[in-house]
Chains A and B, each alone.
Chain A
Amino acid sequence: MPAADTIPSSDQRSRTDARHDAWFRGLLKFCALLVLAALLGAALSTLWGGREVLFKDGFHFLASDAWNPVSDDYGALAPIFGTLVTSLIALVLAVPVSFGIALFLTEIAPTWLRGPVATAIELLASIPSIIYGMWGLFVFVPFMASIEPMLSDTLGKLPLVGKLFEGPPLGLGLLTAGIVLAVMILPFICSVMREVFQTVPVRLKESSYALGSTTWEVVWDIVLPYTRSAVIGGIFLGLGRALGETMAVTFVLGNAYSITSSLLMPGTSISSSIANEFNEAVGTHRSALIALGFLLFVVTFVVLLIARLMLRRLARKEGH
């Protein structure tokens, strides 16, 4: 039996421990809640900063394509148009290429090649966006200017899609920005696809091979249906990146407030409008730019929400 006088002291000790535990837990919880505060704060602060434009004449702001700092008349249509068009071009180009790379890395390449190539593709994601912008402006824009006449002469002559490839070969423009964005988001989509392709049970694939399927049939009929929701999630993740990307598109977009049918014409996007004009803007102009930021945040939030939900479905299927 312990001596009588040690009992209260050990009791006291466990009480101190419990108190410290509660403090520690509180501290950790506070830090975790800061993550929520950051997201909520970003939404609320841009809403507050853009209130002058958003609430005074909200519908006009959303539906007008005017952007005139002199008469203080702002409409978000042209930047929204540019953001959507460049992101769509990026998706159309990046999704098949990412799929091809993921297929190569999971099914075709010899094992010794997979690691290095996967690392190289992921390095594309760690190159800062300003470098993409510089490369885009100084190297890729002249390159595009040299091949755009060819595009106009061939694709531009087609019915229907021909309209998309008309116009002077400036090099700058929606198409160029879309291609640069495609290169930027490719590693994100690819790494999701590669990761989920590896979760497909080997048994399923081997059964299919045993029935005489070709590699392509295994991928198209077994792997892809099995991972469908996560692949869509990965694509939305890439879309979220593309919508919010600033530096890579600002240089190559041409900064023109116009809505055109041709992809070769210059345009603007939400993020590049903000980056280009914010520091010179005052009053309503600045408020309009912050309101644009709010729109961008809401749109990307929804897109990323869908992406994460789709990705989580697969995680649940795995039993995590």
Chain B
Amino acid sequence: MSGESFAGPAAGLKIAVAVKQVPAGASGAVDPLRGYVLRGGARRLNPHDGPAVEAALRLAEIMEARLAAPWAEASGTDARPEPPAGLRPDSRSDSRPEPRQPVGPDLRPEVEVFSMGPPQADETIREVLSLGPARGRHLCDPAFAGADSLATARALAAALELCGPFRAAVCGQFSADGGTGQVGPALAVSLRWPFVGRVSEILEAGPDRLILRQKWADEETTLRVTLPAVLSVLKDAFVPRLPTVRGRLRPKIVTRLGLSDLPRPDPALYGQLGSPTKILASRRPGAPQRVLTRCSPQEAAAALLAARPDVSRTARPATLFAALSAPDLDVRAEPGQAEPGRTAPKRTPPRQSAPSQAGPARPAPAASSGPVSGRPVAAAGRLLVWLTAEGPGLSRSSRRLARQAAALAAEGGLTPWAAWTADGPPDPARLAGLGLSQALIFRLPADRRRRPDVEAAALAEAIERLKPAVALAPADERGREIAPLVAARFQAGLTADCTSLRFAEGLLVQTRPAFGGELLADIVSPEARPQMATVRTTDRPDDESEAAGAEAREGEPGPGGAPPGPPPEIVELTAPDPPPGVEVLSRRPLTPSDELEKARLVVAGGLGLGGPAGFRKAAALAAALGGTLGGTRAAVERGWLPADRQIGLSGRGAAPELLIALGVSGSAQFMAGVGGAKRVAAVNVDPRAPIFAQAQLGLLTDVDELWPALEELLGPLGAADEA
């Protein structure tokens, strides 16, 4: 799509940015005088949206520079274009826009802020306007209240149509309260624009196309995107500017848009009425169990190893710590009521009691009459799970998700199907024992691998063919982008990042954390099909030993008592073409970083480690557990640890699944840096150390004596001690 539909060459160079006001509690409203976190009724801009505003403003700035001095691009090149100031028109390219005169004020690209929310959201829009956007649009109507991500996207799309034309819309990646990350993709589908998520850099911006960098955990891609398009940006990639004095003093124009202003003022499209998902109930998760024990170094060593997220069974002393094992997707246990000491999932009957406000309950899907053979036909009672190929088999987390999905299907009386894309032939033996009856494999050329838009198109095709009652995708980076694109296409309800799934009265009850884990919400999609969810998985080894190989288990019962697991029947299809608008110019693999911020396990040392020798041991322990090393400011100040390893307010933030704090007292300064840690295990000799108040596992023992005990279990940890 190019700019033909617009009046002038640069008329309508408007960029929309969608922002949300969120409760300040979770992420901190601050004392005006001092900067202290204040909980209460205060609300503020979603912290992911400041970067979106910044990206939109930069987009407008680059476009403006380009209007004066257009950007030339040798076709097909992935070289980074020169910055605007140094650019000369390049006669070799015939695809570039015509050179234009310096931009007049009426042609200057403008940013408009859109926000849907209650009347007080007006304040947040004004705050954003002080950064430079031209005007604000506030979607404010009781008819918009209670919207899920799909209904929100619909309303935003309608508002953009009304106020447009726009060349691009920018969103933050998530909201701090809902955290679904679905509004951006759903907005793109509503507008029928291409979507690019995880944008980390804007390399070029002309009136018709952009060159963007997109960052995944394992690779960085450079994309050319035809406008209009929807972008969602990575929070840390665009540090928001601060308002200038002039910006702060400038008059702010905010227009309020109600239901009757929209092109299709049908209340059934928006707000709670227009939302396919319904919240059944929300509750506080059960307080994590805290253990503080005075123990021998041997007990402490065993407990620490049991706590790690990827512990192998041999090192798991069953009791002390079972309650602290990584939260797994458990299709039956009520979240918040983890049963301490339980080591294997128990089969319990499906819950019969669902709250009565579950909406029109559908009859439970009829149990499938066995695997469907041949080409799939439309039939009820299927559960489809989207997986990720790895060579001729599946990635480890996909294998895990497949088993979990199979067990869930058994509970709901559904037939488990899987689908994925692959660039080579599958090896059926490697797909055995997963509990899957059938699999759709979309073959694609290698150069189309790992494209979310291609995967989304393939998943959509699988859904069209299978008409499943339930469709699941992993809640990983790519799954979180694919699923909303597909859900929006089917106008289906989608629940992001579920930690638990179960069936009640034939409906899939999807449990997810919200407000940064302060609440757990049970969500259902009473009407729309498929019922979609992205599912949080952990990549620790499966309960069955992975090393034994899947083949060996053929014929054995599957997980959770599912039927025996032969390899699934495989249907191979050709992957659909990617939708137009996005072209991959280059890819660059990223080595998984050792950064503290990303590590799943962090061993943090404090002064209690006694010196550099202790830190060498701690580093070796971190390496042995697949984690990384950090430490307190006091340790850094003593030169025991490099400054870039410092955790805390003046150092880095870490959000691992498990933080092992060794000889760390736990100052407020330090704890501020590990607020995101899911679990804390602390070893300290001082029972009064504040760290114990924050630790789910407190081990009262001397760190110096812990090393020999750990080495007995793990082998030698680094070089011999220095004097």
- Tell me if chain B binds chain A: no
Chain A residues within CB distance 8 Å of chain B: none
